Amino acid sequence: MNTSTLANQNQFSKKKYAWSGRFSEPVSELVKNYTASLKFDKRLAHCDIQGSLAHAEMLSTQNIISIEDLRNIEKGLNQIILEINNDTFSWKIDFEDVHLNIENRLIELIGDAGKKLHTARSRNDQIATDMRLWIRDEIDDLTNLLNKLLCVLANLSLEHADVIMPGFTHLQVAQPITFGHHLLAYAEMFKRDIYRFKDCRKHMNYLPLGSAALAGTSFPIDRYRVAKNLGFDGVCQNSIDAISDRDFIIEFCAVASIIMTHLSRFSEELIMWLNPQVNFIDIEDQFCTGSSIMPQKKNPDVPELARGKTGRVYGHLISILTVMKSQPLAYNKDNQEDKEGLFDTVDTIRSTLIVFTKMMQCIKPKSYNMRLAALKNFSTATDFADYLVKKGLPFRDAHEIVSKVVYDCEKRGCGLEDLTKDEMKKYHSKIDDDVRNILTLEGSIFSRNHVGGTSPERVREEAKAILKQHYSVDT
Ligand code: ARG
């Protein structure tokens, strides 16, 4: 390449890229397309501008830029917000990412003042800040959605606190429980998910700006001012860590994965309950789909998809863990891979929570079928054993006696409640007529009236507590 071509190239590249001054030839189209993050990171635009506004405000109060420069920057950035909102902003892949697109447009709009915005800042602390701001908003929104789901579950539990169904272990009928109690088991899981989001938010709510590329900056910045303006609880204490770690994204994806696990388990049960052989619930037609070949089918596509989508959320968690695992300090371009999986995670849990919550509002338990199923498989055998213990027998002996009764009933093809008083007496002299009530489904559930137990009274109490604590205005 002769000197004049080189000079031309340099001129071209200097004009084109914020960083291209030291380059002798423009970046190849192939590399440009491979490395650009614009098509997905433009989603961060509003957070990016929010961070820039706070940074510029601080630069001016610290006399690093003038007040006029600040006013121009504010005017320019506000204009850019409008353009983005109206879809008139012209995104250019040549400018690689959201940060450089906005900065270049700012310079186009306000000239030299725009060139000063990046003082005491790097795209490394900028992106670390944008990501935190973005996730923080999403956590707040998703928490609201979890609250709504909790309220729907609590209302459903209140309404059906007396409905009895079989409780399962090993998917075998184990003991009678109330439908409300079963639903509130999921409510407990979602309550913990809300606390997990709270913790995750707390861990990441520190400001990276001021860390610049990795080592901090020589300008007399005021990081606490920026932190306060952006609603952070403090500032990151180590500039190298601040710009390089993405553990907050890992944590977020882990919480999201746990939420999807809960939704997936719930979905699995709904699918089972909707199976005509089980037939425990009805769900409005609007949440089901038909088959293109079998006219009789009503398929539970929503819970099936919720169960299926769990896979991609787990995948994104593994993906971000893997992105981080071999990176030396400090910033590496690998980190750019933190975004698409995160965005998809948020989109997936948001849409799943919304549709799942709506669907739960349309669930009707079929109490007769549930009751019939609960009457099967000697579901009150434990109550029988407990009865004998209360009459003075050691639990192990009581267990053995009831096993024998169950064995005999099974052979005769009858239930415990079908035995006469005399037949009962043969198993132990302490068995009396009062055992009858103990062996009923109601006897069983009403006796479990302690905190965390299945009795309707406790279910109502817990449901009300959830409504009181988690009710959100827009539920
Ligand atoms: N697009 C980049 C990312 O997502 C922004 C930071 C770029 N920094 C850099 N030194 N190349 O991580």
pLDDT at 11 over 70: no
| Residue bearing the bigger pLDDT, 295 or 360 | 360
Q: Is-contact 438 380, C-beta < 8 A?
A: yes
Among candidate residues 373, 375, 251, 369, the one with its CA nearest the CA of residue 316: 251
> CB 278: neighbour CB atoms within 10 A?
15
pLDDT at 16 over 80: no
Name the pairing type of β-strands 363-365 and 281-283. antiparallel
Residue-wise pLDDT tens digits, 77-114: 999 999 999 999 999 999 999 999 999 999 999 999 99
Residues of the chain with CATH 1.10.40.30: 381-439
Atom of ligand 1 nearest to the CA of 338: 4
Please, which pLDDT band fits residue 6 given cuts at 50, 70 and 90? very low
Token representation of residue 95: 């400018």
Q: What's the distance, Cα to Cα, between the start and end of the chain in Å?
A: 67
263-290 average pLDDT score: 92
Q: Is-contact 233 208, C-beta < 8 A?
A: no
Residues of the chain with CATH 1.20.200.10: 123-220+240-372
In the DSSP assignment, the letter for residue 292 is S
Q: Which CATH superfamily is domain 28-115 in?
A: Fumarase/aspartase (N-terminal domain) (1.10.275.10)
Please, which pLDDT band fits residue 25 given cuts at 50, 70 and 90? confident
Among candidate residues 30, 31, 12, the one with its CA nearest the CA of residue 21: 12
Name the pairing type of β-strands 206-207 and 172-178. unpaired
Catalytic one of 24, 66, 291, 351: 291
CA of 295 to the centre of ligand 1 (A): 54
> Going along 326-440, which residue ranges are E strands?
363-365
CA of 18 to the centre of ligand 1 (A): 13
Q: Is-contact 446 455, C-beta < 8 A?
A: yes
> CB 329: neighbour CB atoms within 10 A?
12
pLDDT at 209 over 90: yes
Measured distance CA(217)–CA(251) in Å, rounded: 29
| CA-closest residue to ligand 1 atom 11 | 333
The architecture in CATH of the region 123-220+240-372 reads: Up-down Bundle (1.20)
Measured distance CA(428)–CA(383) in Å, rounded: 16
Measured distance CA(317)–CA(85) in Å, rounded: 31
Please, which pLDDT band fits residue 290 given cuts at 50, 70 and 90? confident
Mutate to test the pocket of ligand 1, among 336, 337, 338 (most ligand atoms within 8 A of CB): 336
Q: Is-contact 109 76, C-beta < 8 A?
A: yes
Among candidate residues 84, 2, 97, the one with its CA nearest the CA of residue 40: 97
What pLDDT does 285 receive? Answer: 82
Contacts of 384 (CB under 8 A, 6+ apart): 398, 402, 405, 416, 435, 438, 439
pLDDT at 215 over 90: yes
| CA-closest residue to ligand 1 atom 3 | 336
Measured distance CA(459)–CA(451) in Å, rounded: 9
Atom of ligand 1 nearest to the CA of 335: 12
Helix (H) / strand (E) containing 235:
strand 234-235
> CB 349: neighbour CB atoms within 10 A?
26
Cis omega (within 30 of 0) on the bond before 154? no
> Going along 302-424, which residue ranges are E strands?
363-365
Residue-wise pLDDT tens digits, 108-131: 999 999 999 999 999 999 999 999
| CA-closest residue to ligand 1 atom 2 | 336
Is 118 an annotated catalytic residue? no
Name the pairing type of β-strands 363-365 and 206-207. unpaired
Token representation of residue 379: 């579901």
Among candidate residues 164, 181, 183, 162, the one with its CA nearest the CA of residue 373: 164
pLDDT at 303 over 70: yes
Hey, what CATH topology would domain 381-439 get?
Answer: Ribonucleotide Reductase Protein R1; domain 1 (1.10.40)
pLDDT at 307 over 90: yes
> CB 174: neighbour CB atoms within 10 A?
15
Name the pairing type of β-strands 206-207 and 234-235. parallel
pLDDT at 13 over 50: no
Residues of the chain with CATH 1.10.275.10: 28-115
Mutate to test the pocket of ligand 1, among 34, 324, 335 (most ligand atoms within 8 A of CB): 335
Measured distance CA(96)–CA(83) in Å, rounded: 19
Whole-prediction pTM: 0.92
Residue-wise pLDDT tens digits, 390-415: 999 999 999 999 999 999 999 999 99
Phi, psi angle pair for 364, to nearest 5°: -120, 120
311-332 average pLDDT score: 98
39-51 average pLDDT score: 98
Please, which pLDDT band fits residue 297 given cuts at 50, 70 and 90? confident
Q: Which residues surround ligand 1 with Cβ inside 6 Å?
A: 37, 41, 97, 123-124, 127, 331, 333, 335-336
Is 291 an annotated catalytic residue? yes
Token representation of residue 356: 């799942």
pLDDT at 18 over 80: no
Residue-wise pLDDT tens digits, 443-453: 999 999 999 99
What pLDDT does 21 receive? Answer: 76
DSSP 420-453: -HHHHHTT-TT--TTHHHHHSHHHHHHH--STT-
Sign for the CA dihedral angle at 425, 429, 435, 439 comes to negative
Burial (CB count within 10 angstroms: exposed 0-12, middle 13-18, buried 19+), residue 15: exposed
Quote the mean pLDDT of the chain.
93
